[in-house]
Structure 1
Amino acid sequence: MIRNHKSLSEEEILLLLKGDLSDLGLDVSDVEEETENARHQDPTTVDIQFLQGMDLDMVEILDPQDNDEDDVPLVSRLLAEPKLALSHSAQKIQCDTHWDLRWRMNDIEEVDTSCNAVFSDPPGDELTPLQYFRTMCSDDIIQNLVEQSNLYCIQKTGASLDTNVREIEKYIGINILAGVVKMPSYRMYWAEATRFSPIADSMPRNRFDKLRNYLHVNDNTKMKQREGPDYDKLFKVRRFVDKIKQGFSVIEPEEYHSVDELIIPFKGHSSLKQYVKSKPHKWGIKVFARAGSSGIVYDFEIYRGKGTVHNDTGLGISGDIVIRLLEGLPKYKNFKVFTDNWFTSYNLISALKNYGILTVGTVRPKDFKAAI
């Protein structure tokens, strides 16, 4: 015999469907009896009042011709059944339930997170800082700087700069050291009151000025017109950037990687200069980079607006950048990649999973709702 239950308000029914209403004082035997009676009824004629006072996770409506034994909650069957004639209250429940989605505690499907990549043993002898630098900045880079700087000086003044490999190496070393021991003006390293011997003794100030004025990477006469399809904003430093990338690719990748953007501080005149309010250095050149958990940068891409990356993967510019920066990783090795909310999307994570790369990324609440 079915016991008469207390009539619930529309608000209580909504809370019941959302799982926020508990301790209704149900008698389990009554629920079983009502469930058994419901199975003998035509599911298309079930009235919404039958739901009052019952635990929906314990009730299901079965089609006699349906051999599927999966446990489908009643509320899911109600929302999916097109023939079910719902009352006005039930229609409101259906609408509210559709938009008011909530996370539920559930067992997470186990994912294989083992790393199948085979890493080499550490080098027997620890490299010196100079040897590490030589790995990134090869002799080809230095030689190109010597040739192009001499050529540019001839084009501008009619006379060669007469620089050589040894002098260019000193010039680069001075700039690196100046980044460690900082002064407001580079001329202060040679000034009498602020003289810094490691820099001042390695090269005269006037010679440093001249190298600074004529240092060049590429031949300006080969630059394409700005309106042309082959125009490259990075033409003047393209050969240097490509060589540096080649040096980075020699480093054996580790298991954990992160893709993010960074700013190279710069306040000079350049079409590449960006202003990013949230960054510590607000003015500069934006760079997308892939780095390991050790802090080593393995690959990077300088942002230059449209055409930053040429591979159209259908994942948007953020997804294209991630795919581009991960090109150097061997596929199907279960590397782990971390991204922030600007890069993260469901389609990107699915695409990387197909490559054998596992991804962890943050998302904004509004983006998650849009994805649903």
Structure 2
Amino acid sequence: MVRPYLIIRPVQQLSTQLFYGKRATVVPAHPSISDDEGSEEEDDDVADPDFLPPTHNLDTPGPSDIGPSAKRKCVQPALEVLEEDDDDDDDDDDGEPAPQAKRQTKKEKPAARLTTWRKADLDNPALPEYQHCPPDFIDTPFQYFSRYFSPQIIKHITYQTNLYATQKNINTTFTTTEDEMMNFVAILMYMGIAELPAVEDYWAMETRVPQVANLMSSKRFRLMKRLVLFNDNTQIPGTIDRFFKVQPLFSHLNAVFRSEPQTPKQSVDEVMVAYKGKTAGNLRQYIKNKPDKWGFKLFARASEDGFIHDMVLYQGKNTLEAHGVPLTPEQTAMGVTSQIVSVLASTMSSSTTTAIFADNFFTSLEIVRYLKDKNCRYTGTARDNRIGRPPLKIIKEMENKAVPRGTYDYVTIDDGILALRWKDNRIVTLLSTDMGAEPISSVHRYCSETKRKEQVSCPAVIKSYNANMGGIDKSDMLVHLYRTPMKSKRWYMRLFAYSVDVSLTNAWVFYRRDCKAIGLEVGLSLKIFRIQVFKEASSQRPVTSHPRRSSAFPGSLSTSVDIPTPVRGHCSHNPESSVRFDMSLFHAPVYTNR
């Protein structure tokens, strides 16, 4: 028996390229830098024992061949990196990769731009100060209000209300006039100042408000509130705009708001119009950090003094399409929030002398570059997955207690974009094309260890952001001071009330500009200004009404019954409860010989 022998022959050494899949390479910043840096996956150290090499020539690499293995020494580039595909939608802060199915459905973006960071600061000239043109005289408060909530709006609402009453055929005798519609709006204004628990309380005997009750009867007010409309319902099937019912109001307000002078510092932020009803479906949004957490979301742009110049009603992914806003190919390739900022910035009167301030919901490297190409400056806080990974100090290292508060680090792109990271109570990251880190000033912060306020170093761009970001918040504060109460099953009535409030606050802000321009130090407060608008708006011939009793108060006789008033279409009425149930007279019919 011949025993087999194992014959060992020298063979040609196999290339390690055969055991690894093909990887995308990145062109290094310098030839000495390894080109396999940046791969997040590690190659296996042990090859598959069942691997069968291909039959093609080993000296000629095939389509699946790859360069050096993962064990080759890598050098990380210090200042030159490739910009990532930043996602402007609601990304997770931990930077976890998206599922494979989501990556395939995501829209393609243009090729990444080479980003070179360097240790340098911005040195841009300061923007010109806003100079308001002084008027010849100060108009009346109602004239300021009529600039925005103009007679054209009253005429439009009156026409649509009469049309709606005819279509519904609820009350064939109903018809209203422009004077009556102005009285209806004036009542809503005064209700924002003298707010009562229920609308009926303005006419009740115990809580009667003459300014409201003498202007319109309770029955007429409720009927007007039930029938007022702002657009033709028969045109709804041909539109994709979910805010079709109130779109004419906001289209008109946007047109007149944009025509007013704008300050060089503009802020972009979200506005919440409070609404807790459920008839609006998913148009109702939730933002936990807002005073009104539930409501309709608007994207707005405002001046630093609180004057809102532009608004976009949010209604989902097709927000801009529903508003009929044309987008350029460059805007289409951007994320949703970047598109919103670019659209709001496109309506500014002069972008070359304007700086926009926004929070981390809107800020990304792509919108900063887009606005810089339009010669518009931008400053905003940013999330780490939207800034292109600049070589700044790591957040975890800055969060260490050994690092003092006020520590900052910054770098600049060659095209003039500053990325800065500053330690306050939390780590703050900003992108800016407006101001740099210098000069360094100081701010006072409370220290929990020493139980007193201490001075903390603050870069100039941080101070500029804090001073100019509050335009939208100031407008919200003014609206909430005397907000028009509007409880209705029709969800769009809350937006109608907001349109009245924002017209009043914008009118007051512009009135204060005029007062300051002519040197008038003391002007009307917002409450007195609103009362004056109410008085002039309700100067038409009032409709007299009598007080009514309400069962909500002790001593009332029965449920509330309207006193007869000369209302159109009212043919008969019931006697008062005090007469019907007095038990002292016989109320049977009396027959006579006449």
TM-score between the two structures when normalised by the length of structure 2: 0.44
Residue pair 2:29, 2:77 contacting (<8 A) in 1 also? no
Query: What are the equivalent positions in structure 2 for 1:143-154 lying under 5 Å apart?
Result: 143-154=155-166
Which one of 116, 127, 131 corresponds to residue 143 of structure 2? 131
Residue pair 2:365, 2:387 contacting (<8 A) in 1 also? no
Change (3 A) 1:275 1:114: closer
Residue pair 1:151, 1:160 contacting (<8 A) in 2 also? no
Residue in structure 1 matched with residue 304 of structure 2 by the alignment: 293
Helix, strand or coil: the match of 2:133?
Answer: coil
Q: Distance in 2 between matches of 1:83 and 1:223?
A: 61
Change (3 A) 1:275 1:360: same
Residue pair 1:256, 1:292 contacting (<8 A) in 2 also? yes
Helix, strand or coil: the match of 1:360?
Answer: strand
Change (3 A) 1:108 1:283: same
Residue pair 2:300, 2:308 contacting (<8 A) in 1 also? yes
Helix, strand or coil: the match of 1:223?
Answer: helix
Structure 2 letter corresponding to 1:110: D
Change (3 A) 1:78 1:148: closer
Q: Deviations over 1:287-312 (max 9, x none)?
A: 00001011010010010112111326
Q: Deviations over 1:261-318 (max 9, x none)?
A: 0100112311321122222111110000001011010010010112111326022111
Helix, strand or coil: the match of 1:224?
Answer: helix
Q: Deviations over 1:75-96 (max 9, x none)?
A: xx99751499xxx99947x359
Helix, strand or coil: the match of 2:356?
Answer: strand
1:247 equivalent to 2:256? Answer: yes
Helix, strand or coil: the match of 2:245?
Answer: helix
Q: Quick check: 360-369 or 211-220, which moved more?
A: 360-369
Q: Distance in 1 between matches of 2:29 and 2:141?
A: 69
Residue in structure 2 matched with residue 232 of structure 1 by the alignment: 241
Q: Deviations over 1:24-51 (max 9, x none)?
A: xxxxxxxxxxxxxxxxxxxxxxxxxxxx
Which one of 276, 281, 293 corresponds to residue 287 of structure 2? 276
Q: Deviations over 1:167-215 (max 9, x none)?
A: 1111111112212222222222222222222222211111100000000
Q: Distance in 1 between matches of 2:187 and 2:34?
A: 80
TM-score between the two structures when normalised by the length of structure 1: 0.68
1:356 equivalent to 2:375? Answer: yes
Query: What are the equivalent positions in structure 2 for 1:91-130 lying under 5 Å apart?
Result: 91=73, 94=75, 106-115=119-128, 121-130=133-142
Q: Distance in 1 between matches of 2:200 and 2:211?
A: 14
Residue in structure 2 matched with residue 42 of structure 1 by the alignment: none
**Greater fraction helix:** 1
Residue pair 1:288, 1:301 contacting (<8 A) in 2 also? yes
1:186 equivalent to 2:186? Answer: no
1:174 equivalent to 2:125? Answer: no
State the aligned residue count: 284
Change (3 A) 1:236 1:365: same
Gaps of 5+ in 2: 1-27, 36-69, 81-116, 322-326, 392-594
1:304 equivalent to 2:315? Answer: yes
Residue in structure 2 matched with residue 265 of structure 1 by the alignment: 274
Helix, strand or coil: the match of 2:270?
Answer: strand
Residue in structure 2 matched with residue 216 of structure 1 by the alignment: 229
* Cα deviation, residue 97, structure 1: 7.0
Residue in structure 1 matched with residue 341 of structure 2 by the alignment: 322
Helix, strand or coil: the match of 1:330?
Answer: coil
Change (3 A) 1:324 1:160: farther
Q: Distance in 1 between matches of 2:144 and 2:226?
A: 28
Change (3 A) 1:151 1:124: same
Residue pair 2:258, 2:348 contacting (<8 A) in 1 also? no
Q: Distance in 2 between matches of 1:283 and 1:309?
A: 22
* Cα deviation, residue 370, structure 1: 4.9
Residue pair 2:130, 2:263 contacting (<8 A) in 1 also? no
Residue pair 1:260, 1:290 contacting (<8 A) in 2 also? yes
Residue in structure 1 matched with residue 361 of structure 2 by the alignment: 342
Gaps of 5+ in 1: 1-76
Q: Distance in 1 between matches of 2:31 and 2:192?
A: 65
Residue pair 1:256, 1:337 contacting (<8 A) in 2 also? yes
